Amino acid sequence: AQSVTQPDIHITVSEGASLELRCNYSYGATPYLFWYVQSPGQGLQLLLKYFSGDTLVQGIKGFEAEFKRSQSSFNLRKPSVHWSDAAEYFCAVGAVSLTAGNKLTFGGGTRVLVKP
Amino acid sequence: EAGVTQFPSHSVIEKGQTVTLRCDPISGHDNLYWYRRVMGKEIKFLLHFVKESKQDESGMPNNRFLAERTGGTYSTLKVQPAELEDSGVYFCASSQDRVGVRETQYFGPGTRLLVL
C-alpha cells in the first residue's frame, strides 16, 4: 500500500526567505506525485504534479518540486516566500489501477506561517 | 470554466440527524471522488464514481454513508445517522481522464461538517 509522510507539521518562515517542504512517499511502482495547497477558507488547489520525465517540475505561484527516486522524496521549494503563501500544503501520491480508481493518498499536511 | 462546487460550505447538526452533502464536478468530468479529513488527520479517500457507477468504494467507513451520482452529473453523500466522529471536512474532486491512466484531480472547496 502506498503512503506519504510530511515530517514537518508546522513551519514558520520570514517573508522573502526561502521555503522547503519535505515529502517522502512509499509506493511499489513508479509514482505520480502532487502538491496541493489549501489557503484559509479555500479548497485544495493544485500547485504542481510529477508524472514522468524531467525530475524538476515547475508549478504555479513560483513553486517547484524535485522528484528523487533514490530518496523516495518529492520536496517542494520556493526561493522567496510571500505573505500570501501562508497556508497548509499537502503532498499526495496517486496509484494507477485498471480496475479500481486512481485514488490519491495524502500526507498529513504542513502548515506554513509567514512572518513579516 | 467553473470549478468543482460543493454545497453546503458548512453544516452543523446534532448526533443522530441526517446530512446530505452535494458535489457538482467540472462539466464533462466523468470521474468524481469523495475524500474526507477528520480533525488532525490525513485527507482520506472515500469513494470514486465513473459516471454514475461506483468504481471503488473501499474507503467508505460504514453503512451510515451513502453516495449517489444519478445521471452521472452531480453527486450526493448522505450521512444517516450522523455520529460525532463524522465531523470533518468533506472534499469532492473530479477529473476527465480514463481509469487506468495518470490523471489530475481538481478539488472543490470542501464542506465543513460539525456533529454535536
Q: What is the rounded distance in angstroms from the CA atom of residue A16 to the CA atom of residue A115?
A: 9
| Nearest CA distance, A76 vs chain B (angstrom) | 18
Which pLDDT value is given to residue A48?
A: 95
Q: What is the rounded distance in angstroms from the CA atom of residue B67 to the CA atom of residue B49?
A: 9
Query: Mean pLDDT in chain B?
Result: 92
- Contact of B28 with chain A, judged by CB distance below 8 Å, is answered with no
Which pLDDT value is given to residue A28?
A: 72
Residue contact A106–B59, C-beta within 8 A: no
Q: Among A32, A98, A101, whose Cβ lies nearest the Cβ of B102?
A: A32
pLDDT grade for B100, boundaries at 50, 70 and 90: low
Taking residues B104-114, report their average pLDDT: 94
Q: What is the rounded distance in angstroms from the CA atom of residue A92 to the CA atom of residue B21?
A: 24
Burial of A30 (0-12, 13-18, 19+ CB in 10 A): exposed
Q: What is the pLDDT along chain A (116 residues), one digit of tens a residue?
A: 789 999 999 999 999 999 999 999 998 777 889 999 999 878 899 999 998 888 999 999 999 999 999 999 999 999 999 999 999 999 999 877 666 567 899 999 999 999 99
- Give the H/E segment covering residue B109: none
Residue contact B55–A101, C-beta within 8 A: yes
Could you tell me what percent of chain B has a pLDDT over 90? Answer: 79
Q: What is the rounded distance in angstroms from the CA atom of residue A3 to the CA atom of residue A17?
A: 30
Which pLDDT value is given to residue A94?
A: 87
Instruction: Report the Cα–Cα distance between both ends of chain A, in Å, rounded.
Output: 41
| Nearest CA distance, A81 vs chain B (angstrom) | 24
Q: Grid coordinates standing for A30?
A: 513508479
Residue contact B107–A42, C-beta within 8 A: no
Predicted confidence (pLDDT) per residue in B21-73, tens digit:
999 999 999 999 999 999 878 999 999 999 999 988 999 999 999 999 988 89
Which pLDDT value is given to residue B16?
A: 96
* Pick among B45, B57, B95 to test the A interface (most A CBs inside 10 A): B45
